[in-house]
A and B are shown apart, each in its own frame.
Chain A
Amino acid sequence: MSLQFLVDGTVAGATIGLGAIGVTLTYSILRFANFAHGEFIAWGAYATLAASAAMGLLVGHATPPLGPFSFTWLTLCAAVIAMGFTGGLALGLDWLLFRRLRDKGESIIAIMASFGASMALRSLLEALFTAQPTYFTRALQIARPLGFGLRATPNQMVLVVLAGLLMIGVHLFMTRTATGRGMRAVSENPTLARVAGIDVTRVIRITWMIGGALACASGVVVGLLVQVRPFMGFDLLLPLFAAAILGGIGSVPGAVVGGFTVGLAEAAAVAFVGAQWRGAVAFAVLIAVLLVKPAGLFGRRA
């Protein structure tokens, strides 16, 4: 039996976990399921491509790849810029759309609107960049042995580590800073939060920024390891929600654990059952967990 699915599942889990943090935070703080979240992933990937191309023109000569990796330092700088851009995109979408619906207090309308926003954002990407897949690099990477018969490419290894650091960073932010405390307070009880002196509008803005930035990071990971295409985020949407629900809505560690669980379950399904069962197995795991713990692994209410 090959254990290679552990590597594939961990890589997939890192991308799902990064995206699921945004889903779980929007769900718990803004109280609606944002189906446009996948689009932030795709937009983040394209924004990184565009920014690194623009920076390449500014630099004026080809930059060599960093060490054993297939990307350059320009890609990393572009990713950081794109994270800011995608956070701003999420903020802009809220300003344009969700803010108005929130005032009316109908979360189901916000959910439907997010479907519409998802389609619009995706079509816009197709119009701007065509529906053809594109790549950060076409360089081939040789997978290196990790022991126990496992192999991973240098890109996979460094990106999983970077994703892990980002997740830890967000967790520390949520638990150690005043803003993080405010976000947890608003997610539990927005009215009490206001009475306690928390600026809920500011908390909502920061939630969108974090969700958008992490979605972008997820898109960069997928883009560097697989490819960049307009549907890349939409295709991740179900795993994202599965991970957020599995971990317990509102919990950052839950979204991360949920992400790795879904990623590993999918990879195991591909390895042992057949690729066509990939989605089904992920959802079987989700249902099994919810039967035992209806609030999810780290959920606060049973």
Chain B
Amino acid sequence: MSLPAPATALLVAEAVTAGYDPDLPIVRGASLRVAPGEILAVLGPNGAGKSTFIKALAGIVPIGSGHVLLGDHDITHVAPHLRPRMGLAFVPQTENVFGTLSVTDNLKIAGDALADRTVAASRMAEMFDAFPDLAHARALQAGRLSGGQRQMLAVARALIGRPRVLMLDEPSAGLSPKLVSEVFRRLDRIRESGVAIVLVEQNVRAALALADRALVLVEGLNRHEGLARSMADDPVVAELYLGIHRRAAEALV
């Protein structure tokens, strides 16, 4: 299946191999492109390498071969801590906030990476405006937040650097359906501001409903790519790779 490639891709990964052991790559030549204001869902069965792929793009899993481009920059081997200030933010799946630090300190850490102190302070104020729940809990240790608040804090932390690309590893994990739709509504709004979003998800239905395009990884390789809507309609794709039944897929239409 050909890739309906966006004309102005912001983040491009080409034939990336990655894994903790160079001899046993988990990602074995996967590719993706995502454009400003676009949401790309990365789907696939368990163990397909989705999470490793996105971590490799964030710089915390070593890349063996292939290229990662952010705009005009080749960031394949750029240190992970430099990526946020280049405009690439990543929200890990679990332990994505500093539980022993206060909510404020969690956000300040992201602000510390910015060159300008006053900008950092005003961005933090913006985050507290956008996430009133966090503003009320600002002095609380982040470990005491609810699952949903924690996910919001992780997203807010990532947004402080005004990323051009936001990558999230299973933001719906461990959240109730109501909270999932709240998180996804937020992502929709972030996309509207022109941010490119890469979303690794197990919750296929919710991800396909939100995303513009989807990519199915199987055994560390691209297996299927297409518009999210048509993918949800495709019974073969749905049953083979996504583990949802035809009826559920039909319900999406």
Report how far A188 CA is from B176 CA in the complex, Å.
27
Is the CB of B110 closer than 8 A to any CB of chain A? yes
Bound Cα distance from A262 to B90, whole angstroms: 44
Interface segment out of the listed A17-25, A78-86, A190-198, A210-218: A190-198
Binding stretch for chain B, among A107-115, A176-184, A224-232: A176-184
CB distance from A63 to the nearest CB of B (A): 43
Could you tell me which residues of chain B, from 170 to 184, have a CB within 8 Å of some CB in chain A?
Answer: none
Say yes or no: is B161 at the interface (Cβ < 8 Å to chain A).
Answer: yes
Query: Is B60's CB under 8 angstroms from A181's CB?
Result: no
Q: Is residue B13 within 8 Å, beta carbon to beta carbon, of the partner chain?
A: no
Specify which chain A residues have a CB less than 8 angstroms from the CB of B157 in the assembled complex. 196
- Nearest-Cβ distance from residue A298 to partner chain B, whole angstroms: 11
Give A130 Cβ to nearest chain B Cβ, in Å: 46
- B window 35-70: CB within 8 A of A: 58-60
Report A195 CB to chain B, min CB distance, Å: 5
Quick check: B60 and A197 within 8 Å, CB to CB?
no
B residues in contact with A189, CB < 8 Å: 95, 98
Given contacts A191-B92, A192-B95, A192-B96, contact A197 B112 (CB under 8 A): yes
- The reply to whether A182 and B109 form a contact with Cβ atoms under 8 Å apart is yes
Q: Are A197 and B161 in contact (CB under 8 A)?
A: yes
Q: How long is the Cα–Cα vector from A300 to B142 in the complex, in angstroms? A: 12
CB-nearest residue of chain B to A179: B112
- Give the residues in chain A near B113, CB-CB below 8 Å: 196-198
Within the assembled complex, what's the spacing in Å between the Cα atoms of A93 and B129? 47
Instruction: Considering the complex, give the chain A residue whose CB is closest to the CB of B110.
Output: A196
Measured between C-beta atoms, what is the minimum distance from B140 to chain A in Å? 14
Within 8 Å by CB of A188, from B81, B100, B108, B112, lies: B100
Task: Please name the 8 residue pairs, one residue from A and one from B, whose CB atoms are nearest each other, closest first.
Answer: A197-B113, A178-B112, A197-B84, A194-B80, A300-B100, A194-B81, A195-B90, A199-B81
Q: Which residues of A contact B (CB under 8 A)?
A: 178, 181-182, 184-185, 188-189, 191-200, 300
Q: Which B residues contact A (CB, under 8 angstroms)?
A: 58-60, 79-82, 84-85, 90, 92, 95-101, 105, 108-110, 112-113, 157, 161
